[in-house]
Structure 1
C-alpha cells in the first residue's frame, strides 16, 4: 500500500454559470462528488499506485490536479430498458465466467449498459456513486477526437489533412514538420515516443512527472518539441500520448478555447449532460491536456456515448459533426503495427480503437464471428471504456482499476470484448 498524503486544495478555473455552485474541496461544482475521500495518493506516484490507492486516486483526479470545469446542461433522466440484462456469460479456454466473475476479474468499479438509449444494467462498486467523477485516462483522447470533428464542421479547422504547422508554425524545423492532422490523430506521425508505463524513464513517465510539478505546460511542451523522427509520416502506427497532447494543443489554438470550455459549449450543455465535469489542466483557463484528464459521472460518460452513437446530433436535431465523421473515425488505419493476424482490418482510427474479438482467437465464446463488429472503443489505461456499437444501438461504459496499466490483449481486453459481445447477444 502506498503512503497516503493529505491533498492540498486545488484551484479550478470555472466558466460562467448561472446556477448555484458549492465548494467541493477547492473545486466549485453544482453538485459535490461523492464519496469525498479526505486522504489522496501522491500524484507523482500515479503509475505505481496499488489497487486501493488507484480507486481513490481515479475518483479524486479532479482534486489531485489543477483543472477546468465544464458546466452541465438540462438533462433528461435515463429510463430503465424494458429488457434488463440478466447474467450474460463468456468462456475462455473452456472455463465459463458470469457477469459477477467479470466484475471481479476486471476490477470493475462502475459499469453502465445502455440499449436504445435506456439503462439495461448499472453497477457501482468500491463506494462509487451517481455523483462520482471518475477520470478517463486515455478515453479523453476519443473526446478530443470528437471535438476535432466539431471544429472541422464549424470551420475552425480547415481539413483533417492540414499540416500541424498551419496551426502551430513554431513547430517548423522540429520532427513535427510535414505531419498532417490525420497522421497526428491516427498516431502515424512517425515521431518517436516511448509510451511504456512500466519504464520510469519513458516519455510517458516523464510527462506524468511534469504533471506532478509546477510549470506543467512548459515542461510537457519541451518534451514534445524535443522529440525525434523514427519513421516517415504515415507509414507506422505507434501509440503516442505525446502526439495526443499535441492534437489537443492544436485544437485549442484553432478554437481559441481550452478543451473544457469548447466541450461545454459544443456538447456538455447543448446535449444536456446532468452534472459538471472537470478537465485536467496544464494552464488553468488556457490549456487542458489532450491526452487524458476528462472527469465525469458514469451516466454522463454514457450520455457522451449516446451523443457519438447519434452521429453528433443534439436534442434539437442539429448535427454538429461532419457527415460520415464516424465512418472516417473508424476506418482503421492500415499502417504497419496497426494491422495484425487478429485484427486484419487494423486496430486504430481517429483516437478510437477496434477491440473486436480477434478473428484468430481460439477456445472462446462468443466466437470471433459473433463479435461486436464495427464497434468503436474509447480506451484508457487500467480499464476505462466507452464502447459504442451503432448496429446494435448499444453503449457500454466501464470504470476499472486493472492491476496493470496495459495488460496483454489475451487478458482483460479480450475478456471485455467477449463480455460485451455476450451482452449484445442477450439484449437483442
Structure 2
C-alpha cells in the first residue's frame, strides 16, 4: 500500500496557504467579471496541488484523505469554484491509487507531477432515456475514436485530460475513456449558465473523432468502489469552505461597520449584542459543518485502507459506512450553510447587498453545490439504512422517465 501521512497537516497546509491567500484576494473580482480562474489554477499546479494523494516515492505528497479534504476546505474558503473544478482530477488520481502498481499507473503519476490535470465528461442532456449514453468510443486502427458531447463538464476548461463516461461502440459496455484535450477533436465551451459556481469550467464539451490511446479505455465496473462518497466529499469540503468564508466576511463586515440604527443596542455595531448573536450563530453553524465533514472523511479513509485487503465483507461494510456518512454530512451541510449565507445579511445592512461586494455569491454557490446529488434522496437513503438496513444507492443515472 502507498505510504500515507508522511507529514503533519500544518506542515502540508503551510505550503499552500500563501497561494490560498492570493486566490482569495481576487475572488470577488473574478466573480463580478466572470473571469475563469486560469491563473489561480496555474499557481496550484506549479505548487503540486494536484499531486496531494500521489505517494511520496512517486513524486507526490502522500496526503491522507482527511488531509486532502481539509485542504480543499481551505481552498474553498478562498474561492469555492476551485475545489469543484479539481473534483474530477482528484477522483481520477484516487482511482489510480486503487489499481495495482503498474507502468501505466506510474505514467499517469508522472503526468500529474508534471502539472497535468483531469476534467470531467460524464453528464449528457437532452431527450435521453434514463441511463442512455449517446457518447460512443469505438475501436480504430491506432486505439479508439470518441464521438458525442457532454454538459456539466466540470473542470474541463482547465484540464489536459477528460475523464469521459461513454459506451463502447462494439459491445455496448459502459466504459471510462481518458481523452487528451490538446487535439482538434475536442471542443470545449464556456457556456455554463448556472447562478452559482460560475467559474468551475462546467460547460459543454464536444468530441468529434477524438483520438483515445489504446490503454485509456477501461470498464466502468473497474472504478474504485467508494467513488460516489469521494465525489460527494469534494462538494462537502466546498460547502464547509463556503461556511468559513461566510463567517470571515460577516465578522469583518460587522467589525468595520460604522452606521447604526436609532433603535440599535450600542453606539458601535460591533458592540450590539443582537448583531453579535447573529455572528455567533453563523460561526457555530459553520463550525458544525466543518466538524461533520472532517468526521465523515475518516470513513472514506477506512474504505481506502481496506480496498486491497481481500476481506470482501469488511470492504463492503467500509464502503457502506463511507456512503452513509457522506450522506449525513450532506444533509447537515446543505441546511446549515445555506441558512448561514442568508442570516449573514441580518448582521449587516442594505448597503451590503450591493453587487460590488458580491456577498450573495455565498448563497448562490452553496445552493448550487447543494443541488448536486439531490439531498432529499440522501436523507431517504440514511433513513432506509437506519430503519431497514438497506444499503444506500452507490451508482445512479439520470434521464427521461417513461
TM-score range (shorter-chain normalised) is under 0.3
TM-score, reference length from structure 2: 0.28
- Looking at both structures, which has the greater relative contact order when contacts are Cα pairs under 8 Å and sequence separation is at least 6? 1
Q: Which of these two proteins has the greater Rg computed from alpha carbons?
A: 2
Higher strand share: 1
Higher helix share: 2
